[in-house]
Structure 1
Amino acid sequence: MRTAALLQSILMISSVLLVSAVIFAEDTETVISMDVTWNGEDSVEGAVRIVDGGHLTIDNADIKMMEGSSIHVDEGGQLTISHSTVKSQTPPSAIASMGYWDEQNLSKFKIPSEGISGPFQVDMFAMEGDTYYSDAAHIGGESYNLNGSSHTFNFDDGSEDIWIGLTGYGSSPVTVGSITITTQTGGETTIPGSELETVNMRGAGTPGFQLHVDGEMQSSSSSLIGGQVLVDGTLSADGTEFNRVGPIMVGESGRIDLLGTTSFSASLDDHDVRTGAYSELFWGEGVSGSGGLIDKWERRIGGQTLHLDAKYVVLRLSGVGPQESTQEIFSDENGTAYINGGNERVIEIGYADGTVWTESATIEIISYETGWNPQTSDIGNYGGGIINLDWSNSIVLDSGTPFVEWESLEIPEDSLSKTRGQSMPVVAGLANRGTAAALLYFTCDVTETGMEADIGGYQQARIEPGESVQVSFGWRHSQAGDASLTCRILTPTQLIEDDAFGGGSMTTATASWAEPEEDGSLPVLPLLAAIVVAMAIAGVTMLRRASDAIVEDDEEESEYSNDEY
């Protein structure tokens, strides 16, 4: 009985745990793995995931996306929105200036003062979390300093068509979360910034939901309001309104087709669509953007790098970004150079007026010198001439460099035997398979011992691109026996990889070295010593004889002198 009761208790506890787990999963994410259709009015709270094989159709529906909710279309999943509205419960409701100071591009909004009699007051409030700091408002010919989170304007009776221009500190945006109009009778009207009539202003605020497409999404005759859209799969929109949704973010692997009368309004940046360098984008003729200073699309690239075989190569980039600036960069210890410091930059703009600007930048080698092309060699810089900067994330610059290989290292057959101290002829064959000349050196070691061989110092060779040369030199060896010669090309120390310009080593056939033969005659050194000794003895003998002769002459003179006296 106790065993049965215990088993029953365990089963009950397990059932509760399993049910709790299922409820938890349902609370955090709704998974759609088959065909599902939503109609009428409904709301979404939390996450909805359409997995591979799942298909969600939103047809003739009004869907309210609660704050922080999301729909994720996995690869293999599908989302279809037709004749429906998908709207954030908390869409962005502020507006922001575009940062221009000139009259033509000045950001401004209109005070709806029609129908107001007598003096009235307008309180302008910054977007939540933002403040006015050294900003300015411009009305007519007057300017007003803005500080704090709000500012109050007073207007006289009969004021109509009042436009307030906004300029920020530097080029920073000035936001308007809302305005409140107070009349002399005490009436108040609050209007969100997004409902004001504006010129050269954009939407501002935080999107209320997220729609992420890794699979496929189709939208027709529908509206998406106040959310963020990310596309790494495929999105096709026909006759769809994107209100406070832009910019739609399209990843490198994403594709977006904008068709029919699709339109954008109040995008939250200065463009409606942002793509990667190689994202696919189709913008139909009938599609309209937010207009004004808000571009239709921007194509961007970030983290772009150049890779070279050597470090400390100096390069000049020209025509970079919309400003078509000039930059000088250099390769680091790994041979990597970062374009625009590795930061993201705009490489294409589809302007609101229908024109398109596309970056046309170039790369020029300023200094690419190594031990194989020193300034004194007159070879010039490696790296080739000016080349176009394309949109690849990683660009390898390996043109205009040498690549030297061994072709042969031989000792003539009739010279494979020498005596110690004699010079053995060696012929080295080298070829340059690259596209630039090289002035290089090679050295040789005795293969069997690894000791440096006596070849008369480093051997030099200048090899033009596509050329083969032969270098002849002599090898002297001090030990008798068999030995071979291994020669290696000395590569520049600036290279990241030792074999980037070729190089390597090659070994000769084995040669024989013998002791000098003795021919039975007196050795040279003892013979020379004997000659020196004999000459010394002869010299001493001659000196003695000369001395004796001098003494005899002196005695005769003495005797002669005595006879005189």
Structure 2
Amino acid sequence: MFNEATMRSRRLTIPMLLTLLLIAGPLAQATPPSSGDSATVSSSETWTEDAVMDGHVTVADGATLTVNANITMETGSSITVEEGGQLVITNGGLYSDDLNAGLMVNSMFATLTLNFGDLADDGVLQLKLDHVVDSSSKMNVTYDNTTFNASGEDLVQFNVPLNGTDIVINFDSYYFTPTYVLWAKAIHSGGDTNTLMAQEINASDAPLYWFQSGYDVIGHGDVSVTNGEIEGASIHCASLCKFDRSTLTGSAPINAENSSTVVVENSSILGSRTDEDIVLHDQASITYENSQGTGGTTDAWIRLLPQRTLSTNIPNGSLDIYDMGWGANDWNDLTDENGDIVLVEAGGTTEHKRIVAWMDGNGVVHQEDASITLSITSSWGTFSQTIDAPTTSHGTIELNLPFVQVTAVEPETSTAVANKSVSGMVTVTNTGTAAASSVNIWCYAGDEVADTTQIVASLGVGETKQVPFTWYAYQAGDETLNCKPLLPSALDNIASEVVEPNGATSQTVTWEYVEETEEAPLVIYIVVALGFMVLALVVASQARAQREKEYTNHELPAPTMETDEEGEAAAQPEEDATETASIYDLQDSNEQDD
């Protein structure tokens, strides 16, 4: 009985021991790499002991790495969270072993407030600058009533009290090269020193900048920090990065990819390597509540587009851009042959034009208030449209345009006389989305421009008009009249968008010489008849006048005595009669002689 119980006890003990060993194995390994190695967290684990990490850790899909300890990160180390993985830092932190920060003080308002505690009655204060200031530039540093000229120097020194009172240092400069205080050192009796690094100094109008990161946190999966601290990191978010009741020191900017989410609640972000604490790329989202950023000239966050492109329906269209980006820039440009344009290219020098929204160092949110006007000018009018500049990396503008077409050509008759004209109507319509003014209609007989009166129409949106015309032809034959809008040269590149090119063709008109051929003999007959009638009237009139003169000559009165004047007067009519005598008078005289 005893033996059986003992055997059963041993059988139970062995599996239990194996289980404990299996459990203890992973627990023993739940520490970061320390020799530059790479490790993968493929199942969830927790770091609970303070340690130094030197190497690279990858948190696999489905796994969670929880940090409940203070981990000092060697320079160049990294933690990468794969998509589907999680990094959770709770009541712990990641700390760089080589912080490199500075307070930018080349400003007339920069002020540093130092307090080393009660070290001694007095001592020496040293301020270390990141470079030697140009000797010809102004850089005055003042404590109390003492001013130190820092031109040509990289170390500033004052005699100060070290009894626990505040030491206030003011800067007054006219120097455009960024200048940073790296640390402040108090030297007191016996040569003892106390040092405050830049990030530990209370500063006003002297933003804290970090010159490089010590390690990387790359989150393709989720990164969550609660009651924790991250110091000196480069943080990259492609999924969710959440910071709650936490402090990020020298770990900005946080770069958030398009479609990622950043949540900052009840937290502090102190010190950035750029002019912003968080960079939201493209459409990344952010929640920023009850939190404090670096402040001063460093924005809490910005929304940065990778580039700014525009597609339009107008090749070689004119663009007027106003108030674009953080710098509210204005300029003019042209679309390419396809109607597209890169308004702002990627690159460091164009960042100010690619920032479309931002929260400044005082917590005030700003939105770009930019506009873009697209236009094209032609004899039909100027077509333009203004839109708010897209706050995405790509935008479109579709310009409203007319679409003009001739739908009918209707001469009043199908038979006409050559060398004369025919009237008719051209029907023109605008089915586009913009009005067109002074549209010229050209008509063609075959391949030749027809001789017509000018045809011009102005058309509103959706309007149809009938325009009268007169058509002249100079040869007999059958002709059709094809009429179409004359396209302004400025619209050549968008012809298919604004005009129906084929126009409309009339019914056949037969031009004949018939009417002129039938009327010509009749006119001749009338003219000849009228000529004979006129000639007959003239001859009859002359004959009547001659007979009257002959009657007068044969019945003369008896001769009387006349004076010379009377004789001359009497002789004058005879001479006149002789001068006006016709062939008919000579004929009568010869008959009497016979």
TM over 0.5: yes
For 1:394 and 1:507, locate their aligned partners in 2 and report how far apart those are by CA, in whole Å: 38
Residues 172 and 123 from structure 1, CA distance in 2 versus in 1: closer, same or farther, beyond 3 angstroms?
closer
Counterpart of 2:133 in structure 1 is 132
Kept in 2: contact 1:213–1:231 (CA 8 A)? yes
Per-residue displacement from partner, 1:248-293 (whole Å, max 9, x unpaired)?
A: 222332211223x4332233344432324642111233x3434566
Match of 2:180 among 175, 179, 184: 175
Amino acid across the alignment from 2:255: M
Match of 2:94 among 86, 90, 97: 86
The residue correspondences of 1:141-540 to structure 2 (distance < 5 A) are 143-147=147-151, 150-155=154-159, 161-166=166-171, 169-170=174-175, 172-183=177-188, 185-187=190-192, 191-200=196-205, 201-259=207-265, 261-276=266-281, 278-285=283-290, 287-291=291-295, 294-301=298-305, 303-305=307-309, 309=314, 311=316, 313=318, 315=320, 317=322, 325=328, 327-333=330-336, 336=341, 338=343, 343-345=351-353, 346-351=355-360, 353-354=362-363, 356-359=364-367, 361=369, 363=371, 369-373=377-381, 382-383=383-384, 388-398=388-398, 401-406=400-405, 408-411=407-410, 415-416=413-414, 423=422, 425=424, 427-445=426-444, 451-456=447-452, 459-475=455-471, 480=477, 485=482, 487-493=484-490, 497-500=494-497, 502-509=498-505, 511-512=507-508, 514=510, 516=512
Amino acid across the alignment from 2:277: D
Residues 100 and 442 from structure 1, CA distance in 2 versus in 1: closer, same or farther, beyond 3 angstroms?
farther
Counterpart of 2:564 in structure 1 is none
For 2:465 and 2:203, locate their aligned partners in 1 and report how far apart those are by CA, in whole Å: 75
Q: Which moved more, 1:217-226 or 1:164-173?
A: 164-173
Q: Which moved more, 1:173-182 or 1:228-237?
A: 173-182
Per-residue displacement from partner, 1:149-181 (whole Å, max 9, x unpaired)?
A: 722424267796333334565555321223455
Residues 253 and 444 from structure 1, CA distance in 2 versus in 1: closer, same or farther, beyond 3 angstroms?
farther
Residues 147 and 444 from structure 1, CA distance in 2 versus in 1: closer, same or farther, beyond 3 angstroms?
farther
Per-residue displacement from partner, 1:39-97 (whole Å, max 9, x unpaired)?
A: 2345555554445x342312324434332333333444433333332223333x32222
Aligned residue for 1:108, secondary structure, equals strand
Aligned residue for 2:508, secondary structure, equals strand
Aligned residue for 1:498, secondary structure, equals helix
Indicate the RMSD between aligned Cα atoms, in angstroms: 4.5
Amino acid across the alignment from 1:195: E
Counterpart of 1:562 in structure 2 is none
For 1:158 and 1:216, locate their aligned partners in 2 and report how far apart those are by CA, in whole Å: 47
Aligned residue for 2:384, secondary structure, equals coil
- C-alpha displacement of 1:431: 1.3
Kept in 1: contact 2:116–2:162 (CA 8 A)? no
Amino acid across the alignment from 1:350: M
Per-residue displacement from partner, 1:433-453 (whole Å, max 9, x unpaired)?
A: 32445333343455xx6x342
For 1:517 and 1:190, locate their aligned partners in 2 and report how far apart those are by CA, in whole Å: 115
Kept in 1: contact 2:116–2:186 (CA 8 A)? no
For 1:491 and 1:33, locate their aligned partners in 2 and report how far apart those are by CA, in whole Å: 69
- C-alpha displacement of 1:226: 0.6
For 1:382 and 1:59, locate their aligned partners in 2 and report how far apart those are by CA, in whole Å: 62
Residues 353 and 50 from structure 1, CA distance in 2 versus in 1: closer, same or farther, beyond 3 angstroms?
same
For 1:120 and 1:523, locate their aligned partners in 2 and report how far apart those are by CA, in whole Å: 128
Residues 409 and 203 from structure 1, CA distance in 2 versus in 1: closer, same or farther, beyond 3 angstroms?
same
Paired positions, count: 481
Amino acid across the alignment from 1:265: L
Aligned residue for 1:132, secondary structure, equals coil
Work out whether 1:55 is the aligned partner of 2:63.
Answer: yes
For 2:253 and 2:404, locate their aligned partners in 1 and report how far apart those are by CA, in whole Å: 54
Amino acid across the alignment from 2:260: G
Identity %: 15
For 1:443 and 1:49, locate their aligned partners in 2 and report how far apart those are by CA, in whole Å: 74
Kept in 2: contact 1:166–1:174 (CA 8 A)? no
Amino acid across the alignment from 2:463: E
For 2:119 and 2:251, locate their aligned partners in 1 and report how far apart those are by CA, in whole Å: 33
Instruction: Give 1 or 2 for the bigger CA radius of gyration.
Output: 2
Q: Which moved more, 1:303-312 or 1:201-210?
A: 303-312
The residue correspondences of 1:548-563 to structure 2 (distance < 5 A) are none
Kept in 1: contact 2:252–2:277 (CA 8 A)? yes
Counterpart of 1:13 in structure 2 is none
For 1:520 and 1:436, locate their aligned partners in 2 and report how far apart those are by CA, in whole Å: 46
Match of 1:108 among 112, 115, 127: 112
If the length of structure 2 is used for normalisation, what is the TM-score? 0.66
If the length of structure 1 is used for normalisation, what is the TM-score? 0.69
Counterpart of 1:71 in structure 2 is 79
Aligned residue for 1:497, secondary structure, equals helix
For 2:454 and 2:83, locate their aligned partners in 1 and report how far apart those are by CA, in whole Å: 63
- C-alpha displacement of 1:415: 3.8
Aligned residue for 1:194, secondary structure, equals helix
For 2:67 and 2:424, locate their aligned partners in 1 and report how far apart those are by CA, in whole Å: 90
Amino acid across the alignment from 1:115: L
Kept in 2: contact 1:333–1:496 (CA 8 A)? no
Per-residue displacement from partner, 1:448-484 (whole Å, max 9, x unpaired)?
A: x6x3421537743211234222333345566845656
Per-residue displacement from partner, 1:202-232 (whole Å, max 9, x unpaired)?
A: 1321011222323322232322111111223
Higher helix fraction (1 or 2): 2
Kept in 2: contact 1:65–1:209 (CA 8 A)? yes
Aligned residue for 1:249, secondary structure, equals strand
- C-alpha displacement of 1:494: 6.1
For 2:342 and 2:120, locate their aligned partners in 1 and report how far apart those are by CA, in whole Å: 63
For 1:230 and 1:458, locate their aligned partners in 2 and report how far apart those are by CA, in whole Å: 69
Counterpart of 1:377 in structure 2 is none
